[in-house]
Amino acid sequence: MNICLFTPEEIKNPLAKKDERAQHIVKILHKKAGDTFDAGIIGGAAGIATITDISPQGDIFFSFEPKSAGKKLYPLTLIIGFPRPIQLRRLLRDVAGLGVQKIILCGTDLTEKSYLNSNVVSDGSAYQMLLDGTAQAASTHVPLLEVAKSLDQAIKSKNEDSSLACEIPSSGTLFSEWESASKIALDNRRASSSLHDFLEHESARSVVAAIGSERGWTERERDLLESSGFSLCSMGSRILRTETAATVASSIILDSMGYLG
């Protein structure tokens, strides 16, 4: 936790002793009255908090001084075939740390159906992983998370500008990702070029990247992706876990766009 994040209401109130952030401030950072720590408002400003008092009960009273608008999200949207829940938690944390603007989780033809019944999104676990990744990056802007029942729905919804099945909102700046974006689908069977070569000849201001679930895309989905304007690209012959592919591809794409330099 490289920054303590608060909602706009929480930033105005004392932090209870039992709160995980209070435990971090006292036990990990060893802060006391008069000390400062990095803090920010979720979806808003980043700045410095000063501890004004710690009550006998251990509650932390603090003031907050904004210093910047926070680190903005990058214009990269990921469409990801729903992985197993334990992988999903790690995936969300890592791509949030990289600063992608949006993740669309979708069922695919080969997705294990039980994964779609997981409550990892509805119970708040998914948002917590996004928040953890955001705090790890010392950022305040949390990626948007949407859920679609299928790849078809994810693509059709965006083409028709309609809502997806479930959405966790973010106040981070969103970019137009469908009209002018470069569209990439990772695939190691029918790829027309490597991801590296494709990006070398692109100067996109925004990117939408589709990454399949554990068993990859079907031929039907490859046809759908190509007919929807996606270029099939590979990252070599090795078959990677969905979480690994998402992190590596995001890093390569963001670096090619100049955001990691």
From first to last of the 261 residues of the chain, give the pLDDT tens digit.
Answer: 899 999 999 999 999 999 999 999 999 999 999 999 999 999 999 999 999 999 999 999 999 999 999 999 999 999 999 999 889 999 999 999 999 999 999 999 999 888 888 888 889 999 999 999 999 999 999 999 999 999 999 998 665 544 444 445 544 434 445 778 999 999 989 999 999 999 998 887 899 999 999 889 999 999 999 999 999 999 998 889 999 999 999 999 999 999 998
| Phi, psi angles (nearest 5°) of residue 90 | -65, -40
At residue 206, the pLDDT reads 93
The CA distance from 48 to 135, in Å, is: 14
Instruction: Domains for the chain: give ranges and CATH numbers.
Output: 4-68 (2.40.240.20), 74-256 (3.40.1280.10)
Q: Which helix (H) or strand (E) holds 245?
A: helix 242-256
The CA distance from 144 to 121, in Å, is: 12
At residue 176, the pLDDT reads 47
| Phi, psi angles (nearest 5°) of residue 35 | -80, 165
At residue 160, the pLDDT reads 52
The CA distance from 129 to 110, in Å, is: 25
At residue 159, the pLDDT reads 54
**pTM exceeding 0.85:** yes
